[in-house]
A and B are shown apart, each in its own frame.
Chain A
Amino acid sequence: MYSNLWLIPFFPLVGSIFNGLFGKRIKNEAVIGGIATGMVFLSFLVAAQNFFKLLGDTEKVHELVIASWISIGNLQINWELLLDPLSAVMIMVVTGVGTLIHLYSIGYMHGEEGYYRFFCYMNLFAFAMLMLVLGGNALVMFIGWEGVGLCSYLLIGYYYEKKSASTAANKAFIVNRIGDFGFLCGLLTLFWALASKGVWTLNFVKIAESGHLLESGGLLITVVTLCFFLGATGKSAQIPLFTWLPDAMEGPTPVSALIHAATMVTAGVYMIGRMNGLFAMAPATMMTIAIVGGLTAFFAATIGLAQNDIKRVLAYSTVSQLGYMFLAMGVGAFSAGIFHLMTHAFFKACLFLGSGSVIHGLHHAYHHAHLHDDPQDMRNMGGLRKKMPITFITFLVSTIAISGIPLFSGFFSKDEILWWSFGSTRGHWMLWVLGAAAAGMTAFYMFRLVFMTFFGEQKTDARAKDHIPESPFTITIPLMVLGLLAVVGGYIGVPAILGGANRFHHFLEPVFGHALELNHIAAHGTHATEYTLMAISVAIAIVGIFIAWVMYVKDPELPAKFVGRFTAAHRVIFNKWYIDELYDFVFVNPCKKIGTFLWRGFDVRVVDGVVNGTAWVIKGLGAGLRYTQSGYLYNYAVAMVVGVVVIIGFYVF
Chain B
Amino acid sequence: MQAILFYLTAVVAILSAFFVMKCRNPINSALNLVTTFLCLAVFYVMLESPFMAAVQIMVYAGAIMVLIIFVIMLLNLGLTVKTRYTHGLAAGGILSVMVLFVANYFTRAGEATGTGGSVTSELIASYGHTELIGRAMFVDFLLPFEIASILLLVAIVGAVVLSKRKV
Contact = CB atoms under 8 A, between A and B. Distances in A.
State if A and B touch, Cβ cutoff 8 Å: yes
Interface of A: 634, 638, 641-642, 644-645, 648-649, 652
B87 A652 contact: no
B95 A638 contact: yes
Contacts of B99: 641, 644-645
A254 B108 CA distance: 110
Interface in B61-106: 87-88, 91-92, 95, 98-99, 102-103, 105-106
Nearest to B92: A638
B98 A634 contact: no
Contact of B109 (A641, A642, A652): A652
B106 A645 contact: no
Interface-central residue, B102, B103, B106, by most chain A CB under 10 Å: B102
A645 B88 contact: no
Contact of A638 (B88, B102, B103, B106): B88
A652 B107 CA distance: 10
Given A642-B95, A645-B98, A634 B88 contact: yes
Given A645-B98, A645-B99, A638 B91 contact: yes
Contacts of B92: 638
Given A642-B95, A645-B95, A652-B105, 4 more contacts: A634-B87, A638-B92, A648-B106, A652-B102
Chain A, interface SS category = helix
20 contacts: A634-B87, A634-B88, A638-B88, A638-B91, A638-B92, A638-B95, A641-B99, A642-B95, A644-B99, A645-B95, A645-B99, A645-B102, A648-B102, A648-B106, A649-B98, A649-B102, A652-B102, A652-B105, A652-B106, A652-B109
Interface string B108-138: 0100000000000000000000000000000
Chain A to chain B: the 6 pairs with minimum beta-carbon distance, closest first: A641-B95, A645-B98, A648-B102, A652-B106, A649-B102, A652-B105
A638 B91 CA distance: 8
Contacts of B91: 638
A648 B98 CA distance: 11
A645 B91 CA distance: 13
A644 B109 CA distance: 17
A652 B91 CA distance: 22
Contacts, number: 23
Nearest to A642: B95
Contacts of A642: 95
Contacts of B95: 638, 641-642, 645
Contacts of A645: 95, 98-99, 102
Contacts of B106: 648, 652
Contacts of B109: 652
A649 B102 CA distance: 6
A638 B102 CA distance: 16
Contacts of A638: 88, 91-92, 95
B53 to A, nearest CB: 29
A556 B102 CA distance: 115
A641 B103 CA distance: 12
A649 B98 CA distance: 9
A652 B95 CA distance: 17
Interface-central residue, A641, A648, A652, by most chain B CB under 10 Å: A652
Nearest to A649: B102
Nearest to B95: A641
Nearest to A647: B102
Contacts of A641: 95, 99
A642 B88 CA distance: 14
A644 B96 CA distance: 11
A634 B106 CA distance: 25
Nearest to B105: A652
Contacts of B87: 634
Nearest to B107: A652
A144 to B, nearest CB: 87
A646 to B, nearest CB: 9
A231 B98 CA distance: 85
A564 to B, nearest CB: 95
Contacts of A634: 87-88
A503 B95 CA distance: 114
A645 B102 CA distance: 7
B149 to A, nearest CB: 29
B93 to A, nearest CB: 12
Contacts of A644: 99
A652 B103 CA distance: 9
A642 B103 CA distance: 13
Contacts of B103: 648
Contacts of A652: 102, 105-106, 109
A652 B109 CA distance: 7
B153 to A, nearest CB: 28
Contacts of B105: 652
A599 B1 CA distance: 91
A348 to B, nearest CB: 97
Nearest to A634: B88
A20 to B, nearest CB: 87
Nearest to B108: A652
Nearest to A645: B98
Nearest to B106: A652
A637 to B, nearest CB: 9
Contacts of B98: 645, 649
A638 B87 CA distance: 12
A630 to B, nearest CB: 12
A649 B105 CA distance: 9
Contacts of B102: 645, 648-649, 652
A45 B140 CA distance: 124
Contacts of A649: 98, 102
A648 B87 CA distance: 26
A412 B40 CA distance: 134
Nearest to A648: B102
A269 to B, nearest CB: 92
A648 B106 CA distance: 8
Contacts of A648: 102-103, 106
Nearest to A641: B95
A116 to B, nearest CB: 91
A648 B92 CA distance: 18
A498 B146 CA distance: 137
A447 B98 CA distance: 109
A166 B48 CA distance: 112
B131 to A, nearest CB: 37
Nearest to B109: A652
A284 B30 CA distance: 111
Interface in B7-45: none
A634 B92 CA distance: 10
A652 B102 CA distance: 8
A634 B95 CA distance: 13
A638 B98 CA distance: 12
A645 B100 CA distance: 10
B139 to A, nearest CB: 33
B99 to A, nearest CB: 6
B117 to A, nearest CB: 25
A382 B113 CA distance: 129
B85 to A, nearest CB: 13
